[in-house]
Amino acid sequence: MVTAAQLLAEIDRARLAREAGPLPRRTHVLLSYDTARFPFAAALGRDVFKVHRIDRLHEYLQQQRARQGGARRLSARDNVMVRAMMASQPEDAIFWRLYHGFMLSVLAPLVGRGISYTSHPKLRIHLSGTSSVSSFHHDICVTKRPDQINFWLPFTDVDGTATLWLESDYGEEISPPCPCATGRC
């Protein structure tokens, strides 16, 4: 079995970036958006998880387990279960309508051209106190697409070890954590 570290070691990210042509001026930018117009967290809390505060989802799950006599400790399996709940929303769910509206009216104009995007992206969940469901990786190593633009849209405030770590410059292998508040992507 090949580990993620072995896969990363075999890929020269700097070469992939050079072959893609001119580099963007920055590896990432933080953009603000209107959470009243795009209430992702409220829609997920209300329609999917049935909780008042999505940033406390882990506590609701722990309380539910305690009421059922189970262990309160959450695991990566819980992250996967919660992700499946999000992904199983019907095509016409409010969350997906918000997502498509966001992609087309907020992000597409910033790119400056028509965009192709995933209609149902793989949504990742990281519940407080659980291990990650994926190992540290660079998206370019997975997709082999240096032209791909990824948007990260956290539905709660994130910082410290509970956030994405973004490479400071292409191929530098320096990846500090990127704190991000709700309403930014």
pLDDT at 137: 73
User: Quick one: tokens of 120?
Assistant: 């149902």
> Which amino acid type is present at position 139?
D
167 CB-contact burial (10 Å; exposed 0-12 / middle 13-18 / buried 19+): middle
Stretches where the chain sits below pLDDT 70 are 1-27, 113, 133, 146, 170
Count Cβ atoms below 10 Å from residue 37 Cβ, excluding itself.
Answer: 11
> Which amino acid type is present at position 121?
P
For residues 119 and 53, membership in a common domain is answered with yes
For residues 10 and 41, membership in a common domain is answered with no
pLDDT in tens, 91-141: 899 999 999 999 889 888 887 767 778 888 878 788 888 877 677 777 777
> Which amino acid type is present at position 71?
A
Domain count, the chain: 2
pLDDT at 14: 64
For residues 119 and 162, membership in a common domain is answered with no
